[in-house]
Structure 1
Amino acid sequence: MGSTYKDKDMGVLFAFNGKWVSWAHTAMGYAAFVSALVVGCALHYRKIVENQWYGYPDEWFPSVSATIGDRYPERSAFMILIALTSGPRFALVGLWYLLTARPGHVLPKAVATAGLLRTLSCAGWTYITSTDDHDSHDVLMISYLVLTVPWTAGCIALSPPNAKAIKYRRYLAGAFFGTLLPLIYFFIQHKVHRVAGAYTIYAFFEWALILLDVGFDAVTALDFDRFELVVRDVKGESKGVNTLSVPTAVLEKELLAYGKETTNVAAFASGIGLGQAADIAADVYHGFVFWSTLTSLGVVIWYFPLWHMGISGYEAFVMSTISPILLAIRPLRTLVVNHQRFAHLLSLVGLLAYLVKDPAHRLFTVGFSVSMGCLSWAATFYTDSDHPSKLESRILAFMLGLIMSSIAKFTWYTNNPIWPIMHAENGGWNQIGFILALPAAFRFTRRTVVQSVNIRERRGGSALLSAFGFGGLIFGLHSLLSDTGTMVMWAWDGYPIRGPASNVHAWHAIAAMSVGLLIGLTKPGIVTTWTAYSTGCAGAAVLTLYQQWRGYYGGLTLAVYLMAISVPMIGNASKKNPALTFGLGFFIYNLLVLFHVWVVAYAFVPGGPLVREHTDWIMLTTMLLIGAGILGLVRRNSDARTNTLRRRSATAGIRKYHLGALGILNLLFLLVSFSRFPSNDYQPYHADDRLLTAGIWTIHFSLDNDMWSSERRVRDLIKELEIDVIGLLETDLQRIIMGNRDTTQFLAEDLGMYVDYGPGPNKHTWGAALLSKFPILNSTHHLLPSPVGELAPAIHATLDVYGELVDVFVFHSGQEEDPEDRRLQTEYLSKLMGSSPRPSILLSYLVTRPLQGNYNTYVSDVSGMHDIDPGDWDRWCEYILFKGLRRTGYARVSRSTITDTELQVAKFVVPRTREDRDRVWVLEREVRDRRVNEDQVPAGWRFPAMFRGQGVRGHRYHVFEEPRYYNYD
């Protein structure tokens, strides 16, 4: 529009249209990056395309960071131009605030604040390069990406009714966040898998983010053309051309009239504000609390049969979830429905269970919390079922809570920070979690629709079929999607890695869950068809039958389907009798949970052998139950189609907030994923001495004697003993009853070790894992003969130890009650060890007395293995055997209260040459049991002195009261 002030020539020195602020920002921003790219390629092309693994011609296009980094003059050109960009940038944020600000609305202020902080953080990561200060650069870069979310979402939410601008913003924002996925994928290919050329492709996506980011802000030119920026001399003393002045009152009147136009433009968004956003945040967090409490129940129950070595009676608390059956009592149902806030608040008591020291009382607290949570959520679903927008909001909060729970577990290495097995000492955030849960519960329940005493029964469709479907759905979601690593472990089959890894590819699961939820939200008619159901069944079959990427892709297909069907299935269940759909549904879920345990714990439960090793039966039962729910949905669909358009219009306003929450959760997950990329540059503790320190420890499912998660205590002892290679037993925690956890993720990443998880949860063992400072070149998993008792897992791995190939075997034998199983397993493993011509170590749980019975098969000419110390008479389970290595030391370290088994450690020197290794084979037969004093071995070979005497934290050398050392020559 033309300038009113120019026309009147009233002291105007300079005036220009507001769109030029946007164009100036766009031009200077692009110029800064493009100039650096052109100058860098012209002067230092081969240097800026080179990375830590490859150079030209494998890599032929530079990344943004390499381009704008340390080299002169491209860095200087970039910094000068990016500094000039700051003026238009601040002006752009200010004009956007003036365009969207309205009295009494906080959202425009919040968006402007995010824009301002985003601009400042941009200055930080552009002027502080990764070479200057890597940590500061990364923190500022992550801050910029995090602040991009509220800025982008806020700009879209506050956009004036300009169809062209809104369209461009949505396209550019979608492309920006969509580009993050391939960006991360190719970064992983470069950083982890060291694929030649991957960094070049990554660079293209990185540059695309720059173009899209600046382009998003360029769209403001379509909105700012209504502004005119004026510089006027109000005193008339300027030496400029236009010196005629106009009374200030006249100018203010015209400005007020113009401001009225911009205010009206933004008035369309009068219903948008932080209040609704806070409601959605509270809903999602309340859903997160429910899933956190539900997933913790199995862990606190598992503690009791674990320490009783059999059924304890506390397993009955698994039925805490069937509390919705109480809604069958009409007076009680009315009471709960009309006082939902009280019921939801009672469900929060589980967050305070960490304050209860006695394990049994802590279980009672969690059981009550789960009971109230299931009851209150069932009542809420039922109450809101007559209000499509409210019901959809509740379901989305419930499902987003599951996604948030999975993200929290990934962030805390598969532990949830508000679980009752967590506290401050092991990384828990229980107090913060409860403080946030209180206002979330209050806000969640403040919009509850109050029903009359006589609650109308919903009709149409079968409540029984809905209960079947709901039970199967909740079990599928809990067993497979409550942790991002569960399906990865199903597909894992050792080294070399031919499939997904938990810390690298976890975002696949979150992406699949998000896509599924979007499909179920926007296309419910598609997911309720038999075609979609068949696709889900196919994914379940592939996950069950295959490993590596094929099996994982089947799991991702199933994840998409489960999340998609959850929206219509829970919605349909909400319209039926809640006592039947939710009460019976949770009962069916409980039966599946028990089934899920019995397939591996068959030796400890009556009738267990009937379901022994039948995870395939569990998957089949789950999909059949979901199919029953689909049958009920298909029958009901014809009656519901007439209300589709009305329902869409009613929910469209709130839905975008949930989608925004979903986007924020995904972005946060991606940022956490970046921090967990493995470096794969691990170093042994005593490389100069060519020393290998090996250990074996049964960690009792990472629950200590007092029901606390024990990963950090395990980590501390392994680190202080300077262990390079360790076998861990009783490590398979990827089941509902064990919390769907994975201790090896934390230990491997914190200690800087490669990890082989061993046979996965679909292999029906108690678990065996290997962690190593040395690269694992190859590993195979074995399930040893077990015709009667529990399956015995074993890992056979080949390590690169100082350039020599060394085999390591990790093995957990069967139980004492099954002697025939143990005999067959002994023969199998002895032949397996004997088949290796390389130096070898066995880290094992053998269930035998020294020098007796099966011991003489393990230590024999068949295996070629020697006992680390035949004179150690006080052993029953744990043993370390070896061949082809120079043994220098052996120690037993007490467990404190971490577990029920000590940690055994052995030290070896790896021969430098083949001749030296052959000499070791001969020498070991003659002098392998000769002991020497500590002062006769080099200092680097000795065990840490801190564990002598009383030791530290309850850990000390025991049985011998000090380590044993052996003749080296």
Structure 2
Amino acid sequence: MPPKHRDGDVVAIIPGDYISWVHTAAAYAAFLGALVVGIALHYKKIVQNEHFGYPIEWFPSVSSTIGDRYPERAVFQVFIAICSGPRFVLVFLFYCLTNRPGSTLPKVVAGVGVFRTLTCGGWTYVTSTDDHMRHDIFMVSYLVATIPWTLGCLALSPPNPTAIKYRKYFASAFFATLVPSLYFFLQHKIHRVPGAYTIYAFFEWSLVLLDVGFDAVTAVDFKSFEVVIKDVKGMARGGKTRVADAVLEKEKNKPVGQVFHAGFSWPEMADASADVYMGFTFWSILTSLGVSVWYFPLWYMGLSGYEVVIMASVSPCLLGIAPLRRWVIRNLSLMQATTILGLLAYLVHSPEGRLGSVSLAVFLSCLTTTASWFAARGNPTKLEARISAWSIGLIASSIAKFACQTNNPVWPIMHAENGGWNKTGIALFVVAMARIWQRSPGNSAGSQGSEKPKGPSALAALGLAGLFFGLHSLLSDSSTMIVWVWDGYPIRGPIAVPHGAWTIFAMGVGLLFGLFYPNVARTWTAFGVGSVGAAVVTSFHHWFGYYGALTLTVYLMAIAPVLISNAVRFAPGRTFFLAFFMYNFMVLFHVWVVAYAFVPGGPLVREHTDWVMATMMILISCGVFSTLQNSGSPPKQKSFQPAPNPAARRQRSYYIYVLLLLQLLSASVAYLRFPSYNYQPYHKDSKTITAGIWTIHFSIDNDMWSSERRMGNLIREAELDLIGLLESDNQRIIMGMRDSTQYLAEELGMWADYGPGPNKHTWGAALLSKFPIINSTHHLLPSPVGELAPAIHAVIDAHGVLTDVFVFHSGQEEDPEDRRLQSEYMADLMGRSTRPSILLSYLVTETGKGNYNNYVSEKSGMKDIDPSDWEDRWCEYILYKNMKRTGYARISRSTITDTELQIGKFAVDQPEGGNELIPEDQVHPDMRFPALFRGEGVRGHAYHVFNEPRYYA
């Protein structure tokens, strides 16, 4: 019979800490139980990986233990199911412990806790053998959510010294363990180091134990709780009393307390998101101008006249006209809306029309952005918001390129067929503008402070020029500085994936530092640190060079709010005109160092990237000097710089929310794009190598569309195991800061060597290989007059046989002495090899004449794949030695580039053979070229010159 009073009878009382202990016990039982059962029943199977087994690898990883075999998988799943109940209660109790009226962070952390629990169930019950993609999605979501959960629990931890101490211990150990675990995973996955996976497994298990242990600390907090179960009749009674939280009050002068103390508002979050998207649009349009211009000098083989449109960014000069400036400021929303022209440009078919649309959009975008900053000069809160949105927009643009393998999906060189998301970008622009119009019925010019700025405006302008150039040339793509420090195999430094996410993380850290510590960011000490970073990334390779890159990244993002806030104090017309004019000068400067052979006065700056970097830092120093003039000597700043008022703090929090979401997205992209390195050649049983050479014209096709997908389709259909790519270095502003090898390597399943980086001043040479690249070295060949000639010398493991592969781009026809010296260099380099060798090259010579006889000679030992082929073969050649050549074909390019694809087939471990041609029916099927390209072929690709492949006895 139920009780007669409303409070009911107490049926049971459960101490709160019991919830934590049950959760901890069930979680540890799931993992350790599976480990014990797995070792007992399937020890040698669960320590086996794709490279090594027992006894080289002798301890199993977490994933192989819990997901591969029965019954250990069942043990894990049963105990994780038991763990789920206490887990949800644990999240709820922690929310009750930390929540208080008007507080946002506890709700966010609770939501993350529930999300983690659900995603844990996802990767637990959908194993990698069931559905690898969904398992990975759940896993990466869980790992990414661990970051805000851990940081949120630390921020909300009640004032209990014991709990705080252990949370710090577990969190510090967890994040510290991530670094060596990633290192040994890469050693196993990329370098195939014996035993590395066992060491990685220990770190992986440590992460599991530390993760569960971190949540076990709640037992200390929950000792003040009792879970009371009552038997009642009718509606339950009881207040919503919340446990007091003294932590944020205690730490109100710290960044978390200042920023996240207020309640959460979805409309304000929408405002911040809309502003950031407009910043993303600005950077997407600005970065698309260069690659749109680049199409024209490519086809003119020199200056075309269209290059003048790069000056579209000097449009802020119009703000020097007072009536026009007032009109623009009053109509900022309308002006922002006009920049949609840059997103709509992809609809224009003709390259000239697309360039015109993009250049007009850049003109309007730079004018509008400058006007919006100037309009907010008298309102520090609004100015900070606009600068934050612009800076985070750059990060969003870099993440978009990171996700889409270095192409921005809303660029005018993209469309649906080659991976563009143009319609989505336009739809989001419309939504963002609708939000901006809804909140901003009008704009006012604001009021300028009474204090007149000190010093000349030119100093502030030059600082901005250096900043704009640094952000665009180094940070608009997360892989740029990584290929600067890349120096071939074996890998001794960062790679584009996953370490591009590190660059993006450093960008976020730098921006937060600039917002919270502006007085430190503007110091000469900070400038000195940034300068050292610039010198290191320019001068060194591998990890040391990349540490310099990260240092420079943090500095550039940190100084951005300081330099812009200072520049808006001056007259906008002359200040921002000079800023963008000098920015354009720097853009040309950093192209001229490699394009010196095609422009007047180019040899004066030949190969001087060091001059470019030094000039950039000198320009920034001018801006630092100006900021110090206008702010006085900054005091020693031991704590962060709080926003000026509660409204400003609240506003700042939403931009940080957006930034954190973008960082999580970046980490997710890095995880999902991480290469598998389980690549296989097309015909491994017959031990053949199909190799090709292709000049890809910087991945821009004849109609000004990005051509990576079209190239990938042809390479896949031609069944190429090796391909040398020439004119492949796009890591300059004028080329869009792209890396075509990323898409091709990932989609085709190949190892990639980018070749000499952008700071080596070549047009690029790259190698893609289905076979592991054991070692590679980069060469810059003698070029006393003309452009530098790059070469790659790689050693691959082709069906168990070490084979040398050379990829080489000779100098121009106009420089015969350069080409002679280069031919002698390559003959000597190839002649030193006694292994089977293949040269994939661009030689600029006629068959059998001149320098051809250096490449094909007794000194080099190399033979022409078909010495009888003399027709229109001025550039591309395939040479070989110490292996059997079995076939040769030439495939037409369609409209992808200006050069055909040449391919050859070789047999490993067989003598060279003769030049006798044989019919195809005498050739083993694995040794034949695809029939797809016979006759009319497909998509404009067909065997030509011979109209069919050639086969040799």
TM (norm. structure 2) is 0.89
| Paired position in structure 1 for 2:890 | 892
After TM superposition, give the deviation of residue 723 of structure 1 in Å.
1.3
Moved more, 762-771 or 772-781: 772-781
CA distance in structure 1 between the partners assigned to 2:773 and 2:848 by the alignment: 32
- Read off the aligned partner of 2:231 and give its amino acid letter: R
- Read off the aligned partner of 1:528 and give its amino acid letter: R
- Read off the aligned partner of 1:493 and give its amino acid letter: D
Q: Secondary structure at the match of 2:936?
A: coil
> Is 1:259 matched up with 2:261?
no
Distance verdict in 2 for CA 1:475–1:93, change over 3 Å: same
After TM superposition, give the deviation of residue 347 of structure 1 in Å.
1.6
| Paired position in structure 2 for 1:546 | 540
CA contact (8 A) 1:280 1:657 kept: yes
| Paired position in structure 2 for 1:511 | 505
CA distance in structure 2 between the partners assigned to 1:383 and 1:161 by the alignment: 44
| Paired position in structure 2 for 1:501 | 495
Q: Secondary structure at the match of 1:212?
A: helix
- Read off the aligned partner of 1:259 and give its amino acid letter: K
CA distance in structure 2 between the partners assigned to 1:672 and 1:646 by the alignment: 33
After TM superposition, give the deviation of residue 294 of structure 1 in Å.
1.3
- Of 683, 686, 695, the match for 1:686: 683
- Of 310, 320, 331, the match for 2:323: 331
> Is 1:965 matched up with 2:951?
yes
CA distance in structure 2 between the partners assigned to 1:39 and 1:940 by the alignment: 45
After TM superposition, give the deviation of residue 493 of structure 1 in Å.
1.9
- Of 922, 943, 948, the match for 1:936: 922
After TM superposition, give the deviation of residue 450 of structure 1 in Å.
3.2
CA offsets per residue over residues 578-599 of structure 1, 9 Å max, x none?
A: 2233322111111000111111
CA contact (8 A) 1:149 1:664 kept: no
Q: How does 1:736-755 map to 2 (within 5 A)?
A: 736-755=733-752
CA distance in structure 1 between the partners assigned to 2:758 and 2:511 by the alignment: 26
Q: Secondary structure at the match of 1:908?
A: strand
Moved more, 953-962 or 577-586: 577-586
After TM superposition, give the deviation of residue 830 of structure 1 in Å.
2.5
CA distance in structure 2 between the partners assigned to 1:284 and 1:515 by the alignment: 17
> Is 1:346 matched up with 2:335?
no
| Paired position in structure 1 for 2:771 | 774
- Of 463, 466, 470, the match for 1:469: 463
Moved more, 353-362 or 670-679: 670-679
| Paired position in structure 1 for 2:810 | 813
CA contact (8 A) 2:332 2:443 kept: no
| Paired position in structure 2 for 1:239 | none
- Of 322, 328, 334, the match for 2:314: 322
> Is 1:230 matched up with 2:239?
no
| Paired position in structure 2 for 1:847 | 844
| Paired position in structure 2 for 1:702 | 699
Distance verdict in 2 for CA 1:370–1:162, change over 3 Å: farther
CA contact (8 A) 1:106 1:273 kept: no
CA distance in structure 1 between the partners assigned to 2:592 and 2:214 by the alignment: 57
CA contact (8 A) 2:375 2:445 kept: no
- Read off the aligned partner of 1:946 and give its amino acid letter: L
After TM superposition, give the deviation of residue 26 of structure 1 in Å.
4.4
Distance verdict in 2 for CA 1:151–1:348, change over 3 Å: farther
CA offsets per residue over residues 837-896 of structure 1, 9 Å max, x none?
A: 333222221222223333233333333332222322322221222222222221111100
CA distance in structure 1 between the partners assigned to 2:513 and 2:857 by the alignment: 61
After TM superposition, give the deviation of residue 948 of structure 1 in Å.
1.0
| Paired position in structure 2 for 1:439 | 431
| Paired position in structure 1 for 2:189 | 191
After TM superposition, give the deviation of residue 351 of structure 1 in Å.
1.3
CA distance in structure 2 between the partners assigned to 1:438 and 1:359 by the alignment: 25
Q: Secondary structure at the match of 2:779?
A: strand
CA contact (8 A) 2:473 2:737 kept: yes
Distance verdict in 2 for CA 1:738–1:485, change over 3 Å: same
CA contact (8 A) 2:30 2:79 kept: yes
- Of 514, 522, 541, the match for 1:520: 514
- Superposition RMSD in Å: 3.6
Moved more, 40-49 or 778-787: 40-49
Q: Secondary structure at the match of 2:724?
A: strand
| Paired position in structure 2 for 1:460 | 453
Gaps of 5+ in 2: 250-259
Q: How does 1:385-424 map to 2 (within 5 A)?
A: 385-424=377-416
CA distance in structure 2 between the partners assigned to 1:639 and 1:87 by the alignment: 58
| Paired position in structure 2 for 1:823 | 820
CA contact (8 A) 1:12 1:233 kept: no
Q: How does 1:449-848 map to 2 (within 5 A)?
A: 450-452=443-445, 459-462=452-455, 463-638=457-632, 647=643, 650=646, 651-848=648-845
After TM superposition, give the deviation of residue 763 of structure 1 in Å.
1.3
Q: Secondary structure at the match of 1:882?
A: strand
| Paired position in structure 2 for 1:128 | 126
When the two structures are aligned, how many residues end up with a matched partner?
932
> Is 1:200 matched up with 2:199?
yes
CA distance in structure 1 between the partners assigned to 2:540 and 2:262 by the alignment: 53
After TM superposition, give the deviation of residue 909 of structure 1 in Å.
1.8
After TM superposition, give the deviation of residue 824 of structure 1 in Å.
2.4
CA distance in structure 2 between the partners assigned to 1:552 and 1:756 by the alignment: 18
> Is 1:141 matched up with 2:139?
yes
CA distance in structure 2 between the partners assigned to 1:832 and 1:646 by the alignment: 61
CA contact (8 A) 2:163 2:220 kept: no
Moved more, 745-754 or 258-267: 258-267
CA distance in structure 2 between the partners assigned to 1:79 and 1:215 by the alignment: 21
CA contact (8 A) 2:841 2:878 kept: yes
Moved more, 44-53 or 536-545: 44-53
CA distance in structure 1 between the partners assigned to 2:64 and 2:858 by the alignment: 58
After TM superposition, give the deviation of residue 624 of structure 1 in Å.
0.6
After TM superposition, give the deviation of residue 470 of structure 1 in Å.
0.9
Distance verdict in 2 for CA 1:63–1:649, change over 3 Å: farther
CA distance in structure 2 between the partners assigned to 1:399 and 1:804 by the alignment: 50
CA distance in structure 2 between the partners assigned to 1:428 and 1:746 by the alignment: 14
CA offsets per residue over residues 935-960 of structure 1, 9 Å max, x none?
A: 23222222111111111000011111
Distance verdict in 2 for CA 1:517–1:665, change over 3 Å: same
CA contact (8 A) 2:378 2:449 kept: no
- Read off the aligned partner of 2:504 and give its amino acid letter: I
Q: Secondary structure at the match of 1:931?
A: coil
Percent identity over the alignment is 56
CA distance in structure 1 between the partners assigned to 2:281 and 2:212 by the alignment: 35
Distance verdict in 2 for CA 1:113–1:82, change over 3 Å: same
CA contact (8 A) 1:168 1:219 kept: no
CA distance in structure 1 between the partners assigned to 2:922 and 2:71 by the alignment: 60
CA distance in structure 2 between the partners assigned to 1:160 and 1:274 by the alignment: 26
- Read off the aligned partner of 1:278 and give its amino acid letter: A
Q: How does 1:57-456 map to 2 (within 5 A)?
A: 62-70=60-68, 75-92=73-90, 115-146=113-144, 180=178, 182-195=180-193, 196-197=195-196, 199-201=198-200, 203-204=202-203, 207-208=206-207, 211-212=210-211, 215-216=214-215, 219=218, 222=221, 229-234=228-233, 248=234, 254-255=237-238, 258-259=239-240, 271-443=263-435, 450-452=443-445
Distance verdict in 2 for CA 1:90–1:800, change over 3 Å: closer
- Read off the aligned partner of 2:531 and give its amino acid letter: C
Distance verdict in 2 for CA 1:803–1:326, change over 3 Å: same
After TM superposition, give the deviation of residue 736 of structure 1 in Å.
0.6
Distance verdict in 2 for CA 1:878–1:34, change over 3 Å: closer
Distance verdict in 2 for CA 1:839–1:66, change over 3 Å: closer
Distance verdict in 2 for CA 1:13–1:408, change over 3 Å: same
Q: Secondary structure at the match of 1:259?
A: coil
| Paired position in structure 2 for 1:242 | none
After TM superposition, give the deviation of residue 504 of structure 1 in Å.
4.0
After TM superposition, give the deviation of residue 766 of structure 1 in Å.
0.8
